[in-house]
Amino acid sequence: MISADKIIIALDISDSDKLGHMMKELSGQKVWVKIGMEVFYSMGPDVVFMAKDLGFKVFLDLKLHDIPNTVAQGLKSLCRLPIDMVNVHAAGGREMMEKSFEAIGNLPQRPLLIAVTQLTSTTEAQMHLDQNIQGTIEASVLNYSKIAKDSHFDGVVSSPLEVAAIKKLLGKDFLTVTPGIRPIGKEANDQKRITTPLEALALGTDYMVIGRPITQSANPKQALLDILEGK
């Protein structure tokens, strides 16, 4: 069995009626929901309150990436919402991450602050070509993760494949949030560095982000229950 509080369901549904129906169907399972750009930009802050009213913990996944002051002020604004986790892009650099923590680190009930390392849709070859970052993708993820921890972040977003190395370098308490989770038999879609839920747990991840295998299923609630049962 997989604990429900390790599952973050990616709600990439911009139609408000469909989204509301989906959340009501999945409510009561003690899972998190991830509200990303597609949903937040189309529906605004109301979607956060909707999710909280239904009992979900909320990961606001906007991947802030800009000059340090802009990101810091943006985080301050977002933290007026009842969110439980929020993220920035580690590629914004050390100063941006330090300013991010300074902006919200002393809030009485701040959300978990997470840095995105390398997207799970990125291959090592793409990283070399498009980002001009040489070496292995694991080395890049570890570099970003070390800067995030030095900046007092709670953890990072990575693929499950880098979790063991992150935990070894930075300790078991440094959180890992892992997209790229695909149950056996499900399509990878645009994800490249993937594992099954049980494989991700065995690698030591703290939170698994799962979207389309649940939300595009003919029976989303049953799809979630199957995952929780380790299927």
Instruction: Please state the domain extents for the chain.
Output: 4-228
- The pLDDT score that the predictor gives to residue 120 is 81
Neighbours of 44 (CB within 10 A): 10
- Banded model confidence at residue 1, pLDDT cuts 50, 70, 90: confident
Which residue shows structure tokens 């007092």? 152
Residues near 63 by Cβ (< 8 Å), separated by ≥ 6?
Answer: 37, 87, 88, 89, 116
* Helix axis angle, 94-104 to 68-78, nearest 10°: 30
* pLDDT attached to residue 194: 75
Q: Between these two residues, 88 and 123, which has the higher pLDDT value? A: 88
Whole-model pTM? 0.93
What is the rounded CA–CA span in Å between residue 30 and residue 58? 11
Rounded Cα gap, residues 140 and 159, in angstroms: 12
pLDDT tens string 42-99: 999 999 999 999 999 999 999 999 999 999 999 999 999 999 999 999 999 999 999 9
Q: Are 104 and 79 spatial neighbours (Cβ–Cβ below 8 Å)?
A: yes
User: What's the confidence (pLDDT) of residue 208?
Assistant: 96
Is 70 exceeded by the pLDDT of residue 187? Answer: no
pLDDT per residue as tens digits for the range 206-225: 999 999 899 989 999 999 99
Instruction: Give the integer Cα–Cα distance in Å for 95 and 139.
Output: 20
**Residue 126 pLDDT greater than 70, yes or no:** yes
10 membership: H or E segment, kind and range:
strand 7-10
**How many whole angstroms separate alpha carbon 196 and alpha carbon 182?**
5
Catalytic residue among 34, 57, 63, 99: 63
Burial 117-155 (b: 16+ CB within 10 A, else e): bbbbebebeebeeeeebeeebbebbbebbbbbbebebbb
CATH number for the 4-228 domain, one of 1.10.1130.10, 3.20.20.70, 1.10.3720.10, 3.90.45.10?
3.20.20.70
Residue 63 falls in the annotated catalytic set: yes
Among 74, 111, 118, CA closest to 96: 74
Spell out the alpha helix ranges (H) of 11-154: 16-26, 37-43, 46-53, 68-78, 94-104, 124-126, 137-150
- Judged against a pLDDT cut of 70, whether residue 107 lies above it is answered with yes
Distance spanning both ends of the chain, measured CA to CA: 9
d(CA 147, CA 95) in angstroms, rounded, equals 10
